[in-house]
Amino acid sequence: MSSITLAAGLAELGIALPTEAQQKLLAFRDLLLKWNKTYNLTALRDPEQAISHHLLDSLAILPHIGSGPLLDVGSGGGLPGIPLAIARPELSVSMVDTVQKKTTFLQQAAIELGLKNATVHHARVEEMSGHYAQISSRAFAEIALFVRLTRHLLAPGGRWLAMKGVRPDDELKTLPADITVEAIIPLAVPGLAAERHLIILKAGS
């Protein structure tokens, strides 16, 4: 039943994934719910709901993901980082969270799912180093704070990808003057009756 729901949702999103990737996505869902009993990684307990609210919600931004290294900030239970790493095995995906039990789960998930392209950091993002072409977040912080905490990590010409619910016009008003809103993309997530938006931002030269 679950695989049909996932396959139908992917088709609706216009995303074609091989069977192996779809199986890994469902295996990740199962791992998340199993660890959730002890680690409290998500408020969701229902396996069917987890497909729409976690897997498909994360993958809705896949068409907007570029090719350069991606850092997922405040990864928590690995959303959207792990679904993106599964869907794009050639993409380097780094995930960071300050909570040890969450990064322990992320490490274990990457090992069990054989995600050679996924790296996990237990750190405060403002203390990290490196450069990333893409920096994503899903319900991590207000956009201005997200940009401020991660600006030193964005590679020249890089983009921020902020996943939000309702269109965050008030948050966008608080951005520094040299930050450009490149796109505000409404997302329709199959099985999810709630507003979703992807905000793509760039830093001024």
**What pLDDT digit, counting tens, does each position of 94-142 carry?**
999 999 999 999 999 999 999 999 999 999 999 999 999 999 999 789 9
User: How far is the C-alpha of 74 from the C-alpha of 62, rounded, in Å?
Assistant: 18
**Helix-helix angle 2-13:19-39, to 10 degrees:** 120
Mean pLDDT of 142-161: 97
Q: Chain-wide mean pLDDT for the chain?
A: 94
User: How far is the C-alpha of 4 from the C-alpha of 143, rounded, in Å?
Assistant: 35
The pTM of this model reads 0.95
Structural domains in the chain, sorted by start = 2-203 (3.40.50.150)
- 159-182: per-residue pLDDT in tens? 999 999 999 999 999 999 999 999
Choose among 64, 65, 46, 52: nearest CA to 25.
52
Task: Sort residue 139 into left (φ over 0), alpha (ψ -120 to 50) or beta.
Answer: left
In which residue are the tokens 């990590």 written?
A: 153
Percent of the chain residues past pLDDT 90, beyond the cut: 87
- 37-63: per-residue pLDDT in tens? 888 788 777 888 899 999 999 999 999
DSSP reduced 3-state for 55: helix
Q: How many CB atoms lie within 10 A of CB 164?
A: 20
Kindly tell me if the per-residue pLDDT of 3 is higher than 60.
no
- Confidence grade of residue 4 (pLDDT, cut at 50, 70, 90): low
- Confidence grade of residue 1 (pLDDT, cut at 50, 70, 90): very low
- Confidence grade of residue 10 (pLDDT, cut at 50, 70, 90): very high
Name every residue whose Cβ is closer than 8 Å to that of residue 158 and which is 6 or more positions away in sequence.
68, 131, 132, 133, 134, 135, 202, 203
Choose among 31, 84, 21: nearest CA to 57.
84
Backbone angles phi, psi at 89, to 5 degrees: -60, -20
Kindly tell me if the per-residue pLDDT of 93 is higher than 50.
yes
